[in-house]
Amino acid sequence: MSTPLPRRQFVSTLAVGGLALAAAPALLRADPIPAKVKVALIGCGGRGTGAIAQFLAACKVLGVEGEVVALADAFEDRAKRLNETYKLPANRVFVGYDAYQKVMATDCAFVLLATPPAFRPVHFAAAVAAGKHCFVEKPVAVDPVGARAIIASGEVARSKGLAVVAGTQRRHDASYLRNKALIDAGVIGALRGGVVQWNGTVPWVRRRAKGESDADYMNRNWLNFTELSGDHIVEQHIHNVDVAIWFLGRPPVSALGFGGRARRETGNMFDFFSVDYDFGDGVRIHSQCRQITGTAGRVGEFFTGAEGSCYGAGKVFAKQKYETPVIKLDTDDSMVQEHVDLIRGAYNGKPLNDARQIAETNLAVILGRISAYTGDLVKFDDLLKHEKSPYYNLTAAVGPLDFEKGTVKLPAEVPSIPGKA
């Protein structure tokens, strides 16, 4: 059997004690949102550029001023490019793998984490330790150890009264919220199953530049390495699996999946996955994702209930008559709304804390990947609770701390092979 991700020693700084003890909730009071809200960004790429603009747009929606106080990126060119927009002084633009630590020492109240996912557990733990409210882009981890570290840091955030919002924007979208409300009202009866899909193209590939180090090549081409992205079932399809978990109100019990690769030209990820998620009580969700340019695309979710069916955000097919609930949000843009909800919650005494929720969804997609990489039927609790499971302490062969320490060794650019020879 080939291993889904090469295992290595348990990284104690990542594993903040497995499941944290239930933290006492902080006594929170409601305060007005300050006239000026200070924010910093870690990861100045495509999503970070969007997220910081959306955070500032959310400040406008809330009638306050947003101020960018620091930018950080592993690479100087990325940080400099974004700073052409914000024009911060040089001592507020941090570069390198320890740049996140310098952000934590600034006076930002909020920090947006938008690096490749593998770095999220370490960056999130540092942000929570520094008392920052956090926007954490999905995914938040690439392995079970990282996902459990997010849960543990989330409990610390709760005890400190910090707001944590994940970049699963469908949960802040009026159409999805409407269908969720209709399902909860029983309009299509108890959910029995469904299909969730992200079938599309390879988003991008970056080939190795002449003389480039292993670390630089791997990170600049992170979207094609499982160690940094989690593979596309984790990195991209997480959105659709999240909708299934949200609508059903629970994570899956187990997964049996397969996948493979024929077309991908760099890295070590699969081209496609097909996973049968068993949610218990006779409920099954089929998850399907593919990144092959030139094939039919379909992205979305479809659910079947005892008395009807519905899309994640679209049409509802119900036998009974029903009234469509009116979902009032602050903006039609779910990627601005998520920041409105983050900021508002940070001050109104009811901070959102998505840490456990996003970590559980993240574990579910890692579960699908492990099943497909190995050929095993894998249980959700093998990743969350069963310490003796061979998958419980799975960590990537190249981890975030290797980048900080400069000990990155490029993994083989070949995919896992399921089954036993």
Q: Footprint of ligand NAD on this chain (CB under 6 A)? A: 42-48, 72-75, 78, 97, 99-100, 114-117, 119, 137-139, 167, 169, 219, 235, 403
Distances (CA, A) of 313 to 125, 174, 175, 290, 336: 33, 8, 5, 21, 18
CB of 180 to ligand NAD, least distance (A): 18
CB of 78 or CB of 171, closer to ligand NAD = 78
Instruction: Say if CB 290 and CB 271 are below 8 A apart.
Output: yes
Give dist(CA 417, CA 195) in Å, integer: 26
CB of 236 or CB of 416, closer to ligand NAD = 236
Q: Does the bond joining 144 to the residue before it have cis omega, within 30 degrees of 0?
A: no
Instruction: Give me the DSSP letters along 157-214.
Output: HHHHT--EEES-GGGG-HHHHHHHHHHHTTTT-SEEEEEEEEEE------PPPTT--H
CB of 246 or CB of 403, closer to ligand NAD = 403
Give dist(CA 240, CA 155) in Å, integer: 25
Tell the residue number behind the tokens 């409210």, with chain if given: 133
First-to-last C-alpha distance (Å) of the chain: 7
CB of 103 to ligand NAD, least distance (A): 9
CB of 1 to ligand NAD, least distance (A): 28
CB of 81 to ligand NAD, least distance (A): 9
Phi, psi of 414 (to 5 degrees): -135, 150
CB of 183 to ligand NAD, least distance (A): 23
- Going by C-alpha positions, the residue among 226, 252, 251 that lies closest to residue 373 is 226
CB of 137 to ligand NAD, least distance (A): 4
CB of 338 or CB of 360, closer to ligand NAD = 338
User: Three-state SS for 390?
Assistant: coil
CB of 252 to ligand NAD, least distance (A): 21
CB of 82 or CB of 152, closer to ligand NAD = 82
Q: Which residue is nearest to ligand NAD (CB)?
A: 45
CB of 80 or CB of 286, closer to ligand NAD = 80
CB of 138 or CB of 180, closer to ligand NAD = 138
- 124-151: buried (b, 16+ CB within 10 Å) or exposed (e) per residue? bbbbbebebbbbbbbbbbbbbbbbbbbb
Phi, psi of 260 (to 5 degrees): 180, -175
CB of 304 or CB of 357, closer to ligand NAD = 357
- DSSP state at residue 32: P
- Going by C-alpha positions, the residue among 389, 390, 382, 379 that lies closest to residue 254 is 379
